[in-house]
Amino acid sequence: MLDGVPDPTPHPGASIAALLVPWFAGAARPLPWRAADVSPWAVLVSEFMLQQTQVARVLPRWQEWIERWPRPAELAAAPPSEAVRAWDRLGYPRRALWLHEAATEIVERHGGVVPDDLDALLALKGIGPYTARAIAAFAYGARVPVVDTNTRRVLARAIEGRAEAGPPRVVHELAAMEAQLPVDAGSARIFNAAAMELGATVCTARSPRCEACPLAGSCAWRAAGYPEYEGPRAPRQARFAGSDREMRGMVMRELRGAHGPVARAELDALGADPERLERALDSLAADGLAVREAGGYRLP
């Protein structure tokens, strides 16, 4: 642009942190794990629960968990079965087992303190690239890019002008977020949270509320006239009704509700196809979520 000549057009690809950080101050939902006095452990628990699970469903379970197990050592001292029960119906119950295992590893290898180092976090069970970065950034204030499904969509739209992010390109997306990240660590932390918040509440997958978006004036997707997504799509998930996943869920509900072993006859009484039940029990046993014993099946 020429000196002194204001650019009247939108700015595709323009820096978005300067817009998102102030927006977040007024628009952020008051989520309890964002409070200033929340421990890194409490942040870690929230991140496990939030994997593929909506905020509204996590809120009550998170409150219970941190009151009951306020530090890693307390969860590690409890039997895994209690973690699985307290997980209730959050889904993907392996996460409860992994969280219990991570707590044990934190006690044994890190003196009961959640590590602040990316590699140490990645070495913990159930912690992958997203969660490790989220804990480093949100619990410890590290200046690292955090990229989740919301951030991927925001970057794809605002910067690349595409409707959807498409298949993950981890290296590219981390670099893109890094390029937008404010130099100051405190602002970087807010920006990471703000990008996720925008994707969750405004720049949503289905019906984006562009009229309420702080990036509307500089959004590349909007400037291009909202072109439809052309790239490859993820394969559709298998139908849930009648699936092994559904069967696993039914079995886990029975095991959580019982306080001793559940007899095989009670599981048969669920009325499922015997082969389907057998596959579910085998896979649950392989995952460590169900233990076979003489009286039937129980939680670990």
Q: Which residues bind DNA (CB under 7 A)?
A: 31, 33-34, 46-47, 50-57, 89-94, 98, 125-132, 134, 148-150, 153, 193, 196-197, 199-200, 204-207, 235-240, 243-246, 248-250, 252-253, 283
Instruction: State the nearest-atom distance from the C-beta of 94 to DNA, in Å.
Output: 5
Check 47, 101, 105, 173 and give the catalytic one: 47
- Nearer CB in complex with DNA: 51/104: 51
Instruction: State the nearest-atom distance from the C-beta of 126 to DNA, in Å.
Output: 5
Q: How many CB atoms lie within 10 A of CB 253?
A: 13
Instruction: State the nearest-atom distance from the C-beta of 5 to DNA, in Å.
Output: 39
Instruction: State the nearest-atom distance from the C-beta of 78 to DNA, in Å.
Output: 20
Which residues make beta-bridge pairs with 293? 296
Q: How many CB atoms lie within 10 A of CB 274?
A: 8
- Nearer CB in complex with DNA: 46/180: 46
Which residues make beta-bridge pairs with 284? none
Where helices occur in the chain by DSSP H, the ranges are 17-27, 40-50, 55-68, 72-77, 80-87, 94-110, 118-122, 129-134, 149-158, 170-180, 185-201, 220-223, 244-257, 264-268, 274-287
- Nearer CB in complex with DNA: 28/185: 28
Alpha-carbon gap, residue 21 to 134, rounded angstroms: 17
47 part of the active site? yes
Instruction: State the nearest-atom distance from the C-beta of 212 to DNA, in Å.
Output: 14
Please, is 139 exposed, middle or buried when counting C-beta atoms within 10 Å of its C-beta (0-12, 13-18, 19+)?
buried
Alpha-carbon gap, residue 209 to 218, rounded angstroms: 15
CA-closest candidate to residue 15, choices 137, 172, 153, 182? 182
- Nearer CB in complex with DNA: 15/52: 52
Residues 147, 116 contacting (CB under 8 angstroms): no
- Nearer CB in complex with DNA: 89/259: 89
What is the residue whose two structure tokens read 């893109």? 176
- Nearer CB in complex with DNA: 83/90: 90
Q: How far is CA 157 from CA 22, 164, 200, 219, 222, in A?
A: 20, 7, 14, 7, 8
CA-closest candidate to residue 170, choices 181, 158, 155, 184? 155
Residues 92, 289 contacting (CB under 8 angstroms): no
Backbone torsions φ then ψ of 296, nearest 5 degrees: 135, -130
Instruction: State the nearest-atom distance from the C-beta of 247 to DNA, in Å.
Output: 8
Q: Looking at the annotation, which residues are catalytic?
A: 47
